[in-house]
Amino acid sequence: MTSGHASSKPARSAMMPQRGTRSPSRAIPPRSGYAADDPNTIPGFRMFALDEAARRHSEAGRDVILLTLGKSDLPLHPEIVAAITRAVSDPDRSSLVFPGGLPELREALSARYSALAGQTISPSRILIDAGTSSLYPNLLRILGAAGHEVVIPKPYYPLYRVAASLVGASVAYYNIDLRTMSIDVDSVRDAITTATRVLVVNSPGNPLGNVVPQDDMVAILRLLPADAFILFDEIYENALFSNESPLAPMLLHGSASASSRVVITNSFSKGYRMYTKRVGWCVLPQSQSEAMLSVLQHTRLTVDPSVQYGAVEALRREDEVRSLRTIHEARWKHAVAAFSPLSSVRLLPSAGGFYCTLDCTEFARFNGLASDSALALDILYRTGVATVPGEDFGLPGMLRLSFTSSRFEEAVDRLRDYFGGNATGAIDGHIGARKGAVP
């Protein structure tokens, strides 16, 4: 790991290189593949195309296992359901309108972060939205990214690119080493310019399950220009397989200059299994919270209070989160045991979260599959397992597998047989798969 001071490089222009010169193994990926000022060029999410193809196969009577969405198939705890039901049944509570979020929920999250940070985190700094995805364009706008530059990890969760496009920001990348799962801090330095306004960090990461250690975060903060912000996506923070220290306490308890430049986002969709209930939040510096509240007053107005009461109850159910983490870790270990003996694919290391990533580059090339979308379709047709093409995340030739299916082990065994040359049950008529078409 290296450290340094904030970059003084000028903003990129059409007349200057996008990156410094480095050896091919350290090459920095190019900027976004679609115009930042043209949302009409935003590509679709291939995950949903595969999910839809799987649904059609299932409706046709075929046995399909979904390893696509990061959505647990376990039921919600009965007390969470009861809290939502009570609120729905009570007109006084179900009709509440709070643009910034239900006060009880903001106070509960305030208590949680205050305990983590060892200092008071005011409820006024915490704002609720319908999940985190809808927060990102508004956050980028109030943080000054519009017309400037957003730096994101590669591989990435595609939301980051889309949100930048929606506010007219350019996208630059820093690298995550696919062998060590560590941030290449030198590539962070290379990515930052005077146009940088926001740098996104996701830990544990989607799709890799990589974890950013505190030393790397300190190095990134040192490199960050004085007028730029860290946007820290910690949505999988309660799904770590190890005892790695969470980053939020350090970021919130850091020096005033550091903590005033950090925004944290999280959600009840993952560890708390409330995916379809759509309750997310952000923790902002006090100086930005009023601006974000104003945006929510005009654009969101309110999040359903009934599901927010369910979220308050979910915060009391940390045992549910620990149980899910144990289940996912066992599924990860099963994947390691299944894929490790194979020479045709390589399972990338994962330290937590909801996913693991399978490098299928050589297998696809040897078998004449034009893309990882073609590979994902071939797998679906031959094995009944739906996966997500790595192209969604800037990982061509790879597949993302979600731990969330209760049939995960069975799905992995089918994939092991497929990559080991023992797959059976090919479905006739899968025209287009080897040309890379997604139906």
SS (H, E, C) 74-101: CCCCHHHHHHHHHHHHCHHHHCCCCCCC
Q: Considering the domain delimited by 94-314, tell me its CATH architecture.
A: 3-Layer(aba) Sandwich (3.40)
Domain-by-domain residue ranges, the chain? 46-75+319-435, 94-314
The 10s digit of each residue's pLDDT in 408-418 is: 999 999 999 99
pLDDT of amino acid 260: 86
pLDDT grade for 245, boundaries at 50, 70 and 90: low
Please report how the helices 305-314 and 103-117 are oriented relative to each other, as an axis angle in degrees rounded to 10.
Answer: 30
The H helix count followed by the E strand count for the chain is 16, 13
Poorest-pLDDT segment among 43-57, 80-94, 135-149, 195-209: 43-57
What letters, b where the CB count within 10 A reaches 16 and e where it falls short, cover 163-202? bbbbbbbbbbbbbbebeebbbbbbbbbbbbbbbbbbbbbb
The 10s digit of each residue's pLDDT in 266-291 is: 999 999 999 999 999 999 999 999 99
The 10s digit of each residue's pLDDT in 135-190 is: 999 999 999 999 999 999 999 999 999 999 999 999 999 999 999 999 999 999 99
As a whole number of angstroms, the distance between CA 217 and CA 213 comes to 7
pLDDT of amino acid 2: 41
C-beta neighbour count of 23 within 10 angstroms: 6
- Judge whether residue 322 has pLDDT over 80: yes
> For 236-251, what is the mean pLDDT?
79
pTM assigned to the model? 0.87
pLDDT of amino acid 38: 55
CATH of 46-75+319-435, one of 3.30.300.30, 3.40.50.300, 3.40.50.620, 3.90.1150.10: 3.90.1150.10
- Judge whether residue 191 has pLDDT over 80: yes
* CA count, 13 A, side-chain hemisphere, 184: 21
